[in-house]
Structure 1
């Protein structure tokens, strides 16, 4: 999936959690966007890869694309680190919701991800889409509408 689809997926996931757990939706949403972009640090052409080119090239050289940073192991390590260093539940939950949405969206692509890394086994959903294709555009539109709806509810309730 492209960066904009990951961003809107992170927004939708983090706003859903913000509403469910009554977190500050603005904080959760901001963290969700960051969490949704982080797994693609392994790709130098991604939004985050272009912001941190040296780190991106290093991660790609060591692990490759859609391996470690797209795995449950990475998710668990990030969750552990956030739990130790962050006391704000909205940031932690939003970030992890964004990261989880990224993994789910990339499982919906033909290339899939190595969710069980270091086990070399590609996981993809039964229905997949081409990155940048028409189906991704539909997913983007649906997630955008969902984000507006969840944002309206979350902000109205929180304020």
Structure 2
């Protein structure tokens, strides 16, 4: 999945999570979702985040390959535990969720993901799309429309704008 698709699909899922739970749909939360939705691709130097990683993506890909360690639920669990232990901020929750959403989105690709790495290297998948194809574009546009609908229906954009207020 391309970076813009990861961002929009993750924001859509994150908005739905905020609409139906106590998670606050704040600027901090959405920034966490966006960053978390991009970070797993630090293992691909040509990815959006990889091109901005000051060479770190080359090292991660060399050591673990693309869609390797960074796309594992085991590694996600370790990262989530560390991040949430250090901070229970809305950014932290958004980051942890965005990272998880990225893994789940790539699970739907024909390439799949090694969900249980390092316990096993088998790639799991529910092959719904190939990166850049019509189905990914359909996911992008339908997620964008659903994000706007959920945001409007549950007044999430109002909550988001309120979170930017500096006169508290």
TM-score, length basis structure 1:
0.91
Of the structure 1 ranges 93-102 and 137-146, higher mean CA displacement relative to structure 2 is found in: 93-102
1:128 deviates by 2.0
Of the structure 1 ranges 109-118 and 24-33, higher mean CA displacement relative to structure 2 is found in: 24-33
State the match for 1:116 in structure 2: 116
* Gapped regions of structure 2 (runs ≥ 5): 163-168
- Structure 1 residues 18 and 60 mapped into 2: Cα distance closer, same or farther (>3 Å)? same
Asked if residue 133 in structure 1 is aligned to residue 137 in structure 2, the reply is no
Greater share of helix: 1
Counterparts of residues 9-158 of structure 1 (less than 5 Å): 9-19=9-19, 20-88=21-89, 90-118=90-118, 119-125=120-126, 127-152=127-152, 153=154, 154-156=156-158
1:101 deviates by 1.3
Aligned-CA RMSD value: 1.6
TM-score, length basis structure 2:
0.86
* Gapped regions of structure 1 (runs ≥ 5): none
Q: Is the CA contact 1:18–1:28 (under 8 Å) kept in the aligned structure 2?
A: no
Q: Is the CA contact 2:84–2:93 (under 8 Å) kept in the aligned structure 1?
A: no
Question: In 2, distance between residues paired with 1:22 and 1:103?
Answer: 20
- Structure 1 residues 128 and 22 mapped into 2: Cα distance closer, same or farther (>3 Å)? closer
Question: In 1, distance between residues paired with 2:113 and 2:95?
Answer: 19
- List 4+ stretches of structure 1 deviating above 3 A: 156-159
Question: In 1, distance between residues paired with 2:86 and 2:94?
Answer: 15
Q: Is the CA contact 1:86–1:92 (under 8 Å) kept in the aligned structure 2?
A: yes
1:157 deviates by 5.7
1:64-96 residue CA offsets vs partner (Å, 9 max, x unmatched): 1111100012211111111222131x1122112
1:22 deviates by 4.2
